[in-house]
Amino acid sequence: MSTVVLPGGGRTNVRHRIGLTAWLLIGVGLADPLGGEGCLCGEPWSPLAEAGEQSPDVRALIPRPVVLEKRLDVSSLSELKIENPHGRILIREGGPDRILLRIESNLPIAEDMVRLKAGKGHMSLRCATRQPEQALDVYVTVPPALRIEAKAEEGTVQVHGRPRAVRVETLSGDVILGIPVEDIRAELVWIEGYVRYAGPSLPRVERPALPQSPVPSAAPSPAILAGKLGQGRLSVQVRTLNGWVELGPPTAPGRLILGMLPPQPMTRAARVLAENRQSVLGEALRLLEPRLLRLLEPEGPVSWPVASAEEEDVIRLEAPLVNLLLSVTDAEGKVLSGLAANEFTVLEDGVRQEVRHFAVETSPFNLALLLDVSGSMRGQFEMLRQAARRFLEVMRAEDRVALLLFARDVEVVAPLTHDRAQVLRALEAVVPPLGSTALYDAIGYALVEVLGPVRGQRNALVVLTDGRDSSLAYRGTPLWTDPLRRPGSFLRFEDLVPGVVQSDALIYPIMIENEAELEAALNESGREQVRAGTRLAEEHLRRLADLSGGRFYRIQSLNQLEGVYEEIAADLRTIYSLAYTPVRAERDGSWRRIEVRVARPGARVRARPGYFAR
């Protein structure tokens, strides 16, 4: 990657919170070690094996959380209790006689943090952490017809499926129960006295839910919704200090909404990404937010959208080729043009590969322009509109351009097209979306939905933003992994990175400095938070450029964009396309390190550092 800053303006070592993955795979079964109380690991923890050595620099670019997994055979289980005061609890129904347990954290997980107790017909799991900044999220797939009890504090509790009974306790954590509501007996209690609820109509009960204190208090009495639907065979009990409670599917007829501040609404970008079974971003979203599982088709994979006849005119590479877009410069940074195929050598994990495809820099590009119009960029839309017009002017007529705007959600102003007039008409008519900054969702959407259908062609994504996804303000809190309870993207940065690696698009982030404007109305503590957010945002954008083979730019004002756009356009005109069929053909999910050499003294190559063999 090149960086341009314009003038004027447990058992695995994890270096920091968004450091390396420590995939910890646990043994199978409830054998002797779990007859009584013990740690989660009946067998010693072991890292998931990796094929090929990965350089430390590349490893640092691919952050993932620490994960524990266990598969349990439970033929006679009838009751499951989970207590996790340091994060979320997400439970969904799976096959019979088996529990799949996954615990995810931002920091290493020691053995004594996860305690599992199993007895005849029942099982309990209790999680604890050693550091206040550590969060644990518990994902459990369970058999149907269990009695489920879950207890959390600030983290959300979700239960989806057909349990026999459900009891949930939280402090401020929300409770999402995606269960049938036609035959339930429910009692929902808000201890602070304020109902926050979505679901079927239930009567309000005027009686104390907790023992009365003899000491008079000005605090309101608990608020209670209770009642029976149908025969009342499914018992549902919820007790929360002030959390949001959601009962039944969101589309159920007669659904009521009571109280203020419901969870963040699902965005179009999150829904579309979750529906895509071939993208690792869809997989990440479905794991992070189980409600998105309902969007999937009952069976069969969701394929990439089919390219139009216009798209077929652009050079297409057939799978299973690995596609590379390369920029080559001399020792002084001057672009080297006119290189021939026989001057390139491609190595994968140190093994030479046969180049099957080579294209010179004159081949057309598909380019998506993604503009940040969120609240932190307020007042600059007209300048952004002018910048977009200028960018269209510097691109070649044979290149296709798409234009997208984003704030909390994404709006496609114009799909990939050669028709510049169409893009300009749409740009003049568009009203920018409002809301927080969901940068990671927007980038994921552009890679999957706009550039995904033309994978294997010469693709690039230009992102103009201040870089601060609104979710960054909640990093290190229980809300970081809970997208329904905070603004910003559903995807976290560590979820986005595998999608960038999976894509073959070059990413050119352009970061606009607006610290001074944001700091003007803040005290020193607030200003330091803005600076810290800016530093992290810049780090993230640099990584995206590194992983894709693109370039990172930082500017102080939109007036500097013209020079940047011209540089990007010139860069795209000097990109080489190579493709090869890997000697190692198995798709085992391992990281494959790529090195490209050019037979010219002092030549420097900018390209993505590798890929996951999925």
Q: Per-residue pLDDT averaged across 310-336, rounded? A: 68
CATH code at 366-573:
3.40.50.410
Please tell me the distance from the alpha carbon of residue 337 to that of residue 241, in angstroms, as a whole number. Answer: 66
pLDDT over threshold 80, residue 333: no
Higher-pLDDT residue of 239 and 33 is 239
- pLDDT score at 458: 87
- Please check the confidence at residue 581 and state whether its pLDDT lies above 50: yes
Span of 160-174, 374-388, 565-579 with lowest mean pLDDT: 374-388
- Least reliable range by pLDDT among 109-113, 136-140, 261-265: 261-265
> What's the pLDDT tens digit per position in 511-552?
988 766 665 556 666 677 777 888 889 999 999 999 998 999
Please state which of the ranges 123-132, 208-217, 380-389 shows the lowest mean pLDDT: 208-217
Q: What is the pLDDT of residue 414?
A: 93
The structure's pTM equals 0.75
Q: What is the pLDDT of residue 287?
A: 81
Report how far apart the first and last C-alpha atoms of the chain are (Å, whole number).
24
Say what the pLDDT of residue 61 is: 58
Q: What is the mean pLDDT of residues 291-295?
A: 65
State how far Cα 485 lies from the chain centre. 15
* Cα–Cα distance, 330 to 577 (Å, whole number): 18
Give, as one character, the DSSP assignment of residue 500. Answer: H
- The pLDDT of residue 107 is above 90: no
Distance, in Å, from the CA atom of 390 to the CA atom of 392, rounded to the nearest integer, reads 5
* Span 128-144, average pLDDT: 89
CA atoms within 13 A on the CB side of 382: 1
DSSP state of 204: B
Taking residues 81-110, what's their average pLDDT? 91
**What's the mean per-residue pLDDT of the chain?**
80
Question: Can you give the pLDDT at residue 530?
Answer: 74
pLDDT for the residue 176: 93
- Going from N- to C-terminal start, the domains of the chain cover 17-147, 175-207+219-262, 311-361+577-612, 366-573
* Low-confidence winner among 181-185, 354-358, 428-432 (lowest mean pLDDT): 428-432
**Could you tell me which residues are beta bridge partners of residue 371?**
405, 464
Q: Which residue has the higher pLDDT, 301 or 147?
A: 147
Residue 480 pLDDT grade (very low, low, confident, very high; cuts 50, 70, 90): confident
> How far is residue 486's CA from residue 274's CA, in Å, rounded to a whole number?
19
Closest by CA to 465, choosing from 396, 547, 404, is 404
Average pLDDT on 281-296 reads 76
- The 10 Å Cβ neighbour count of residue 270 is 28
Q: Quick check: 435 and 375 in contact, CB under 8 A?
A: yes
pLDDT (tens digit per residue) in 59-80: 555 666 788 888 988 888 999 9
- The residue ranking higher by pLDDT, 397 or 46, is 397
pLDDT for 6 equals: 45
Mean pLDDT value across residues 94-121: 89
For residue 517, what pLDDT is reported?
Answer: 61
Peptide bond connecting 203 to the previous residue in cis, omega within 30 degrees of 0:
no
The residue with greater pLDDT, 610 or 529, is 610
Instruction: Evaluate if residue 301 carries a pLDDT over 90.
Output: no
- More confidently predicted of 131 and 13: 131
